[in-house]
Structure 1
């Protein structure tokens, strides 16, 4: 049996396990492609509103990237990777394990039967296990999520699912902070949906002492937020008026910024780095600063067929902006993960950059600096806004 046949046999087994619900995991190893920091790729099955998907996790030295793919795209990606970039693959199902190995021209595919193994849950939404279950709360009523009767309003069901999803993401990150009473700053808090939900869960359900400060420019939202926090009995939750750049982040353990526009996201990241925060988590939007430089600069000529199309330029600007942010965080001692999360059918997809301080400041500094310089040169970028804030850190 030749290499393509062995690869197809593995992919056929994977597809069958995916369809029957018996897939546990596929792991690709022995990587020898063009990304020196890529260590492994993990693949599992998840169920989302759009149907069943293959969930890929690319594990790099200092970050993870997650993407969910439909079967045709997933199998094509795996087929190409097994042919050219990975020397091994381990498929685990509830019924058997299958090991694929490639050593030069020698190839091996071994199947071993197993018993008593259960498949993990594929429920991506976990709607039945929401962190927040009590809906008769003052803050839910004040924010228009629940009616006077304490029941979630019909037109706010999606918003309630959304804030539960945000709590699912952020609560474990906060729990990992090694501080007795973590201080969290939410930059650009708006009405404070995340702040009220996260505080309610941590203080009421998880019984974890915490202090949350929502930073918001609009004075009336600050007044309303503080009044609702008082009415809810949330002594550790407050709102402060001002810009992200003006906020004194001294003593802050975590910085969160959801949809802070353009360089406001970088202001939030800078505040977190300057404070030595254990956690920095941002969901960026409006990547205008880098796009303007890409439009005005001299990108690699090979990119011209792609960048001449406005929609592709916009998407590429988003990827380049957030990649540089992740690299600059790594440069300052943070382990980063970048993944896509979808809160509900009415909320667009968001990229979330999660950076956790790992105590190894400056690790692989020259390598990261080289990656930043090469990326900027490729896309004709003079300087990322966050670089200027950091001043060469």
Structure 2
């Protein structure tokens, strides 16, 4: 049955008020915006507790930023009605009992209907806890498409670790990206993007937290994952995010302002670092995986007596090879004018690959460069390393 917008809004708002009073309200979305406010795409509404009182939190999503405002319920409900009269053509209110849906029918006003509940699991309304995460689980279609959350933003139990990893990654990058001059990050490339968990989160952060118009690209050699990620990017409205099929070694080292490579196996990490160095990237971030090349080098020679006990056993040799490999990577980055840091990416409870090597573009004097080169040779000589693969790539 079709009614005028005023009647429909009243009926809808009554049902909304009942869900709020009965504590069955989960969230509300406003979409298909055709109004006059430039750049506005959607509005997402959820329930939060502020100083012990329930409020409605509105997240207005624009093309390059998000605006968040909180309202007491009555004021928030009035704003929902106002937004429906000023350009939004679709509204869905998710409750534990049913979905309440408004659709604008051309020339006939809004149609109000009810459907079976999308979810029967309540979303946390803790305001302070939500603010601590740069990547919220709510109103993120890509997280649902990647099977991190359900349709209303609840993180699946078996995806809790992945969600924590995503947020820790963004939290680690936040101060580094914030320190780069505004407008400098025009192109970000994720080498070996896989299923794109962190690529999507980085794009979300850059566009909706930092307000940047940065283009983000994922490089992945598996065509099925490339197709899947491009489909999710398109359905999420991430117009400056794309994924291309190919190898890290074959990707052109031009126009890259920030490069990330997480768990690229063995020397693929070196290929990625080389691309970043050659492009003069402002920021290079890698989480190395495997360290076979240097381990083979170290295994060819008899180690000095001082460290023999640390290399006689396979597990010790593996860990020593990891440290030597990443220490040399850090020094080679430093030689090429990068200020380097090496620290833990995430705890062992979530993934054993937990070292993050970060290079931030800086300047280096010829004297310091010569000192770094001596340190590189000293490490190689001590551990019996003939040549680090990254040295060959950069012509060191």
Q: TM-score range by the shorter chain?
A: 0.5 to 0.7
Ranges in structure 2 where 5+ consecutive residues have no aligned partner: 1-128
The within-5 A match list for 1:65-214 is: 129-178=132-181, 180=183, 181-214=185-218
The C-alpha deviation readout for 1:80-120, integer Å capped at 9, x for no partner, is xxxxxxxxxxxxxxxxxxxxxxxxxxxxxxxxxxxxxxxxx
Q: Does 1:215 align with 2:219?
A: yes
Q: 2:332 aligns with which of 315, 328, 331?
A: 328
Deviation at residue 303 of structure 1 after TM alignment: 1.9
Q: Distance in 1 between matches of 2:345 and 2:353?
A: 6
Alignment-derived partner of residue 373 in structure 1:
377
Deviation at residue 144 of structure 1 after TM alignment: 0.4
Q: Distance in 1 between matches of 2:276 and 2:365?
A: 14
* Structure 1 residues 138 and 128: CA distance shift in structure 2, 3 A: closer
Q: Distance in 1 between matches of 2:202 and 2:174?
A: 7
Alignment-derived partner of residue 234 in structure 2:
230
8 Å CA contact retained: 2:298, 2:385: yes
Q: Distance in 1 between matches of 2:344 and 2:140?
A: 30
8 Å CA contact retained: 1:136, 1:149: yes
8 Å CA contact retained: 1:162, 1:344: no
Q: Does 1:272 align with 2:310?
A: no
Higher relative contact order (CA 8 A, sep 6+): 1
**TM-score relative to the length of structure 2:** 0.64
The C-alpha deviation readout for 1:117-164, integer Å capped at 9, x for no partner, is xxxxxxxxx886011224232211110001133322122122111111
Secondary structure at the aligned position of 1:373 is classed as helix
RMSD of aligned residue pairs (Cα, Å):
1.8
* Structure 1 residues 306 and 348: CA distance shift in structure 2, 3 A: closer
8 Å CA contact retained: 1:171, 1:198: no
Q: Distance in 2 between matches of 1:249 and 1:196?
A: 22
Ranges in structure 1 where 5+ consecutive residues have no aligned partner: 1-125
* Structure 1 residues 179 and 246: CA distance shift in structure 2, 3 A: farther
Q: Does 1:364 align with 2:330?
A: no
* Structure 1 residues 301 and 293: CA distance shift in structure 2, 3 A: same
Deviation at residue 304 of structure 1 after TM alignment: 1.7
Q: Distance in 2 between matches of 1:282 and 1:189?
A: 12
Alignment-derived partner of residue 307 in structure 1:
311
Alignment-derived partner of residue 102 in structure 1:
none
Secondary structure at the aligned position of 2:274 is classed as helix
Q: Does 1:317 align with 2:321?
A: yes
Secondary structure at the aligned position of 2:330 is classed as helix
Alignment-derived partner of residue 290 in structure 1:
294
Q: Which moved more, 1:377-386 or 1:295-304?
A: 295-304
Q: Distance in 1 between matches of 2:348 and 2:378?
A: 37
8 Å CA contact retained: 1:136, 1:151: no
Q: Which moved more, 1:181-190 or 1:127-136?
A: 127-136
8 Å CA contact retained: 1:135, 1:152: no
Alignment-derived partner of residue 243 in structure 2:
239
Deviation at residue 328 of structure 1 after TM alignment: 0.5
* Structure 1 residues 285 and 186: CA distance shift in structure 2, 3 A: same
* Structure 1 residues 349 and 127: CA distance shift in structure 2, 3 A: farther
Q: Distance in 2 between matches of 1:361 and 1:265?
A: 26
The within-5 A match list for 1:18-57 is: none
Deviation at residue 249 of structure 1 after TM alignment: 2.7
8 Å CA contact retained: 2:148, 2:155: yes
The C-alpha deviation readout for 1:335-363, integer Å capped at 9, x for no partner, is 10111132573323511111101123645
Q: Distance in 2 between matches of 1:289 and 1:364?
A: 28
Q: Distance in 2 between matches of 1:361 and 1:137?
A: 46
Q: Distance in 1 between matches of 2:278 and 2:353?
A: 29
